[in-house]
Amino acid sequence: MTLASTPPGESPPPRSPLQVGTGSGRDAAAVTRRAQARAASDSSFVAGVGAVTRTTTYVAVVGILNLLLLYFAPADLPVSRLVAASAMLWVATVPMFDVVRRKPKQAPIFPIINLIYFMYFGLPVFLGTVLLKNRPYEGEEVTTAVVVTLGGLLLMQLAFYSPLGKIVDKLPRLKMHIELDRLAWYCIVLAAGGVALSAVVLTSSKDIAPSLKAIANVSVRMPLMLLGGMLVLHLRGKLRLPQRIAAFLCYVTYVMFSLASGALAQVAWALVPMFFVYVAERGTIPWRAGLLCVLLSMPFAHSKHAFRKEVRNTYVGPFDRVALFFDLTFDQATSDRDRFASNASRTSTERTSYLGTFAFIINQTPHRIPYLDGETYRVMFWAFVPRILAPERPLQALGQEFGHRYRLLNPLDHDTSFNFAQIVEMYVNFGMFGVFVGMAVVGLYYRALYALFNHGQGGDGMLLLASAALAGLLNIESDAGNVLVGAFHSAAFSYVVLRVVVLFAEKVIIPGRVD
C-alpha cells in the first residue's frame, strides 16, 4: 500500500474543522464552547451588576425619603408608631420597585394601590395630619390602625405574589391585538365623539339612572382607551404631527370636562390611564409629570367647594362650568395669595388622610358599636350581575349608612356620603381578623383581574383596556362592592365594546385583522 505524500515545496492540504475524529475539529468545538461559556458568564455578570445597582438605588431612594419623613415628623410621636409607618413605606414601595426592575408590559395598578395605602394610612403619621372630620385625632388606637394596615398590606402582597396565586392564573387570558398605526385617525375621530358624550355624562352624573351607570362608565372610559393608543404610537415614534395635535386637543378637552364635573377624582381618572400606558411602554416612572399634575390640582382642591355651590341647583353648560371653575380659583388665589396657598395645601392633605377615621372605628368597634358580621358583603356577589339585566337589584348607600352608624354625619343629612374605605369596611364587619383575611382575599382578586385583563401578553388592546377600565381599583377609600365589582363590570363591558369597535374598523372601514 502506498501512502500519499506531499510534493516537495508544497504545504499539506488544510483539514476541515468539521472532520470527525481529527484534533483540529475537537479544538474548534472546544473553542466555540469556551466562547459561549464566556459570553453566558459575561451576560450573567452584567445582569447581576444591573440587579445590584437597581436594588442599591431603590434602598438609597426609599431610605433617604424615610429619613426625611422622620426628620420632619412631629417630635412627640410614639416610637412604635414611627417604626410601623416607616415599615409601611418600605413594604408599599416594593411592588413599584418590582415593576421598574422587570419592566412588564402591564398597567402598574397593584403597585399604585400599595402606594395609595401608604399615602392614606402611613403618610399622615409623618405629616401630623391624623384627622377625623378635618380635626386632629389622637389616641393609642392610631398606632393600632397603622400596625393593622401594615399587616393587611403584607398579606395582600403575599396573596398577590405567592404560588397560591397560581390558582387564579388558570383563568383565560384575554387578548386583543390592534394595528394602532393603521387605525390612528379612526381612533382619534371616535375619541372626539366620546369626549363630546363624556361632557354630558361627567357634568350630569347624578341624573343617570342606576341601570345605565355601567354603560355611562364605559362611555367615559372609551375615549381614554383610544387616546391611550395614540400615546403608545407617539412613544414609538409612529404618530404623525397632525395626529399628535388632534389627539392632544381631544385629551385636553376631556381633562377640562372632567374638571367641570367638580370632582377632582374625575381628573385623576383622566390622568392615571396615560400614566399606566407610559410606564408599561417605557418601563420608567414619569415622576416629574406626576409631581406637576399634583401641584396644578392643589388650587382646585380648595376652590372646588365654592364651585359646587355655584352649580348645585342651576344648570351650567360644560364649557361655562370650566370657565367658572377657573374664574373662582383665580379670584381666590389673587385675593389673598398666602392664605390661599395655605388653605390649598391643607385641603389636599386632609383629602388624603383616612388614618384618623380608621383609628376612631377601632376605638368604637366592638366596644360601643357591634361588628356588622358581613352585613355589607351580603349583596356583593349579587352585584356581579349587571344592573341593566337586574334593574330590581337593591341599591346600597353604604357611605350614608356608615356615616350615620358611627355618628360621623348629621342625623338630618341624607345627601352626604362618608367615605367607607375597604380596609375600614373589613374591620367594621369582622375586626382585625377581617382585615387580615380580607386583604389576602383582595390580593387574590387583584391577581385574578391581572390574569384576565392585565397579564402583559394580550397586545396593545388589553393594555389600553386595563389602563382605563381597571383604574377604578385605585379608589380604595370606597366600599369593596362598589369598587371591586365595579372594576370587573367596567373591564368586561369595555372588552366587548372595544372589540366590536376595532373589529368594525379592521373588517369594514380598513380591512385588516384582529387576533
SS (H, E, C) 334-345: HHCHHHHHHHHH
Q: At what angle do helices 318-335 and 241-260 cross, to 10 degrees?
A: 70
Cα separation, 49 vs 175, in Å, equals 35
- The helix (run of H) or strand (run of E) holding residue 136 is strand 135-136
Check whether 385 has a pLDDT greater than 60. Answer: yes
Q: Is residue 373 in some structural domain?
A: yes
The average pLDDT across 8-24 equals: 49
Check whether 34 has a pLDDT greater than 80. Answer: no
Q: Is residue 296 in some structural domain?
A: yes
Q: Is residue 12 in some structural domain?
A: no
pTM comes to: 0.86
Q: Is residue 40 in some structural domain?
A: no
Q: Is residue 18 in some structural domain?
A: no
pLDDT higher at 333 or 390: 333
Cα separation, 288 vs 338, in Å, equals 25
Question: 132 in helix, strand or coil?
Answer: strand
Return the pLDDT at 16.
46
Q: Is residue 236 in some structural domain?
A: yes
User: Across the strands, what pairs with 131?
Assistant: 136
Q: Which residues contact 65 (CB under 8 A, 6 or more apart)?
A: 89
pLDDT band per the 50, 70, 90 thresholds, residue 390: low
Q: Which of 408-417, 475-484, 496-505 has the lowest mean pLDDT?
A: 408-417
482 residue type, one letter = N
Query: Length of the chain, please?
Result: 515
| Domain boundaries, position 406 | 142-509
Return the pLDDT at 142.
94
The average pLDDT across 136-149 equals: 92
Return the pLDDT at 400.
84
Q: Is residue 31 in some structural domain?
A: no
The average pLDDT across 87-104 equals: 92
Q: How many domains does the chain have?
A: 1
Which cell numbers in the block locate residue 514? 384582529
Question: Nearest CA to 278 among 494, 58, 463, 474?
Answer: 463
The average pLDDT across 299-320 equals: 82
Helical ranges in 212-316 per DSSP H: 213-235, 241-260, 264-282, 287-311
Residue-wise DSSP of 313-356? SS---HHHHHHHHHHHHHHHHHH-HHHHHHHHHHHHHHHT--HH
Query: What percent of the chain is modeled with pLDDT above 90?
Result: 43
Return the pLDDT at 513.
43
The average pLDDT across 159-181 equals: 87
Return the pLDDT at 1.
42
pLDDT higher at 385 or 169: 169
Q: Is residue 319 in some structural domain?
A: yes
Return the pLDDT at 394.
62
pLDDT band per the 50, 70, 90 thresholds, residue 246: very high
Which cell numbers in the block locate residue 19? 472532520
